[in-house]
A and B are shown apart, each in its own frame.
Chain A
């Protein structure tokens, strides 16, 4: 399924957050969205998934959802958004409860998602018993249990420490490789974008406009090889040069969103 941003703009009261975003997320790709803080990355993701109503333009989908898909546009949240009163299996199963599935199918899906995210031994644990990394694995399991057509990931690793982030990047790629689910990955971390994405959309500071759309020139599976380090470093520098003045300006801005 292809996901499109068609002239999306958004205002919070007098605050202009997004302006004229035209973007197409191709089927089966990982598109990273980066930009300085406050540039509207998360707002754009909210609009793309139907959680925020845009004040201009629209989000649109092209094509059909894959077989077995129960929720075409599915989020992974920065703060995990887990129910503390439910176990790991209960949190993952929540996404299935309003669908007419047989008991067997429900259990099979939950078991698959838990196995894929390394949570099989933690099915009965409660969120408060888990580390940040494990909590986000629950968030990811809950997202893939519905076999989404598009995964919308809102800075999913930014609340985690650097080492856990590394581990989860590897796991995310392994999970993605299985279904090749179309993914929009919002991050402020250039290295993360360079490691995961096929293309990187760069937003300007507020109001966020699409400043650049860059194809990562090295195939994903070869990005760890020393031979490609120079190309990736050059791209990193180019991205940073593009973002740096915006980030510096955004950093000094007085925010009054109220």
Chain B
């Protein structure tokens, strides 16, 4: 159809509201911030004692790596997180599934779990130290408790969210209850459970840092606190950078797990 001279085009009105992650923008932004920080330090605008330059932080990291100090702190923290997370997640999964499936477990467990969930678990560390001593068990128990509650609640909610029609379908084929839990409920709840793991992992990182600040010789939390006490701010910020890297690695690990377990999505 030939264009009509009197016709006006219809304006497009549906733009925006579709944010997309960029590929290069994040790197450019990070480089710009680090660059500005380095320039400000070099120009003497930032006093070294309160805000050491990125270069000084990297040098501190290199020094700690060469001396083996970094490995010592990292291994201590990762070990505590790994053991605490494994215990807390296993218990959380068991209790979450029970509350999601069994009426009695829900009636008894849900009010208790909901009441204890909001308590900042670090407040229990002194009590746990009294019970378990100042060594590893009290720190691991704090992390396990911190992981347990969000895992249990996320698992229960995820089990609730599994479509009932899938369960009825399995029952209509005479599938035994245990097989239904294994083949229908568990995979159906997996997205929600992994979401719970994400929250639990960040709580574990907070708790390990706090617990190590209260009473530990080694660990990234102890490193940060010790450096602060000695006004070694380059080491202090190096410790914070380590915590950030650990957080990113844990998130990436859970992301990879999601990608693999939820590849059907």
- Write the residues of chain A forming the contact surface with B, with a CB cutoff of 8 angstroms: 49-51, 71, 73-75, 77, 79, 81, 83-86, 94-95, 97-98, 126, 128, 142, 146
Q: Is A81 a contact partner of B187 (Cβ separation < 8 A)?
A: no
1/0 per residue B184-197: CB within 8 Å of A?
A: 10011010000000
B175 in complex: contacting residue of A51, A79, A98, CB < 8 Å? A98
Which residues of chain B (212-260) have a CB below 8 Å from chain A?
Answer: none
Residue of A nearest to B171 (CB): A51
Chain A residue numbers with a CB within 8 Å of B183 are 83, 94, 97
Chain B CB within 10 A, most for which of A74, A81, A95: A81
Chain A residue numbers with a CB within 8 Å of B171 are 51
Q: Is A84 a contact partner of B179 (Cβ separation < 8 A)?
A: no
Cα-based distance from A94 to B167 in the complex (angstroms)? 12
5 pairs from A and B in contact (CB 8 Å cutoff): A51-B171, A81-B166, A86-B264, A98-B175, A146-B173
Nearest CB of A to B262, in Å = 8
- Write the residues of chain B forming the contact surface with A, with a CB cutoff of 8 angstroms: 165-166, 168-176, 179, 183-184, 187-188, 190, 262, 264-265
Chain B residue numbers with a CB within 8 Å of A84 are 264-265
Chain A residue numbers with a CB within 8 Å of B172 are 49-51, 71, 73-75
Q: Is B184 a contact partner of A98 (Cβ separation < 8 A)?
A: no
Nearest CB of B to A257, in Å = 15
Chain B residue numbers with a CB within 8 Å of A73 are 172
Q: Is B174 a contact partner of A98 (Cβ separation < 8 A)?
A: yes
Cα-based distance from A253 to B70 in the complex (angstroms)? 73
Interface of A is mostly: loop
Cα-based distance from A95 to B169 in the complex (angstroms)? 9
Chain A CB within 10 A, most for which of B175, B176, B179: B175
Given the known interface contacts A51-B172, A94-B170, A97-B179, the answer about A83 and B184 at a Cβ–Cβ threshold of 8 Å is yes
B179 in complex: contacting residue of A81, A86, A98, A146, CB < 8 Å? A98
Nearest CB of A to B250, in Å = 25
B173 in complex: contacting residue of A79, A85, A95, A126, CB < 8 Å? A95
Q: Is B173 a contact partner of A74 (Cβ separation < 8 A)?
A: yes
Nearest CB of B to A238, in Å = 34
Cα-based distance from A63 to B168 in the complex (angstroms)? 25
Chain B residue numbers with a CB within 8 Å of A98 are 173-176, 179
Chain B residue numbers with a CB within 8 Å of A146 are 173
Chain B residue numbers with a CB within 8 Å of A142 are 173
Q: Is A83 a contact partner of B187 (Cβ separation < 8 A)?
A: yes
Cα-based distance from A86 to B264 in the complex (angstroms)? 8
Cα-based distance from A77 to B184 in the complex (angstroms)? 16
Cα-based distance from A49 to B176 in the complex (angstroms)? 17
Q: Is B166 a contact partner of A83 (Cβ separation < 8 A)?
A: yes
Chain B residue numbers with a CB within 8 Å of A50 are 172
Residue of B nearest to A85 (CB): B264
Nearest CB of B to A144, in Å = 12
Q: Is A94 a contact partner of B173 (Cβ separation < 8 A)?
A: yes
Q: Is B184 a contact partner of A81 (Cβ separation < 8 A)?
A: no
